[in-house]
Amino acid sequence: MLLVLKTLSFFLKSILIGVIISSVILLLVPDLREGSGMPLTLFTEQESSKKLSFNSAVNAAGPAVVNIYSQSIERSGYQRRQAVERTNLGSGVIMTSNGYILTCYHVIANAKLILVGLQDGRLEEAQIVGFDSITDLAVLSVSAENLHPIPQLEDPKTLVGDVVLALGNPYNLGQTVTQGIVSRINNNGLNNFFDYIQTDAVLNQGNSGGALVDSEGVLIGINNANFKTRISPNRVESVDGVSFALPYSLAKKVMSEIIATGKVTRGALGFEGQQGGLTSTGIIVTDVIEGTPAELGGLQVKDLILSVNDIPAISVRDTLDYIADTTPGSTIVLEVNRDGTILKLDMVVGELQ
């Protein structure tokens, strides 16, 4: 009996040692686990999928991007007597649940009829609320229910290098998504007409007015155009990988003013300037346009503008933006240094045309 127990104990110890050694080998050499009959979860944690996808962003933004078809009548031929019907193709972005849509002005310019194709298959006639030719933006309105506004943030905090998606209807293929990064952010300000976001996301005919969104589907810009270069006197070509969009903050500001007043009004004085030298602050006046409020108010070339309405003229952009945001007809005071003499000049703000 004792011999039987010793023999049984020996076999049990051998089996236990074998199991331990086998487990260590399988742990160190994963390839040997296949066909072992042992569940892999004993040795590795269940890994979630590492596939990179922007599907959630497209699902969030896609229903808000619409197809726009506009018909216009143009005159051609001798003395432009022949009427020609033209159909333009573009895209737009639903901004509000009550039917306001942003698009590019060139998509609907001179249109007699505008149709908006929603992603659920509905086709709605749109009305023009107003447009701004300087930024090439237009606001449309449709009377439709159950609209899907695009996700928006007051400040999307767009940075160079961010991944972006361009949504639109190129060549009327239906909603198409292209991907790229923010290549550059140019902050000109309204005084230089508009800011823009440069991206390498591909844009084609029909993409104008569509959405540029971030990797979470939040709107960061309205797609506008490709960069074009003239390669001969009669030939202009688009440059691949260089596309532009109007930033969300500017587009939203233009849209809000158009909805409120039907147009965008900007103040202007009629002068050009450049930043003061390394040892001086202010704006050096480089040109004064004849017949403008600047000339009528006594501003001269080489004057150094120190402040506008007591706001220091530290930046050309900020100063001209301040003037652009001033209601035409208002009086503002420029403090200038002219050959060492400090002057205060009253000027009535005109309207930027």
Instruction: Indicate the DSSP class of residue 52.
Output: -
325 is catalytic: no
208 is catalytic: yes
> Coil, strand, or helix at residue 229?
strand
249 is catalytic: no
User: Which candidate in 70, 91, 106, 195 is catalytic?
Assistant: 106
Distance CA 338, CA 336 (A): 6
- Whole-number CA gyration radius for the chain: 32
For the chain, the straight-line distance linking the first and the last C-alpha, in angstroms and rounded, comes to 113
> Coil, strand, or helix at residue 12?
helix
User: Residue 297: what are its φ and ψ, rounded to 5°?
Assistant: -85, -5
User: Residues 219, 150: contact at Cβ < 8 Å?
Assistant: yes
User: Which candidate in 70, 91, 208, 243 is catalytic?
Assistant: 208
Q: Which of 215, 209, 251, 226 is nearest to 117 (CA)?
A: 209
Distance CA 77, CA 284 (A): 49
User: Residue 163: what are its φ and ψ, rounded to 5°?
Assistant: -75, 135
Helix (H) or strand (E) segment spanning residue 317? helix 316-324
Q: Which of 212, 124, 134 is nearest to 166 (CA)?
A: 212
Instruction: Indicate the DSSP class of residue 145.
Output: S
User: Which candidate in 70, 91, 132, 136 is catalytic?
Assistant: 136
User: Residue 78: what are its φ and ψ, rounded to 5°?
Assistant: -60, 120
The gap from C-alpha 249 to its chain's centroid, in whole angstroms, comes to: 9
Structure tokens at 169: 């209807």
Instruction: Indicate the DSSP class of residue 289.
Output: -
The three-state DSSP-derived secondary structure of 27-46 is: HHCHHHHCCCCCCHHHCCCC
Q: Which of 213, 188, 187, 216 is nearest to 199 (CA)?
A: 213
Question: So which residues are the catalytic ones?
Answer: 106, 136, 208
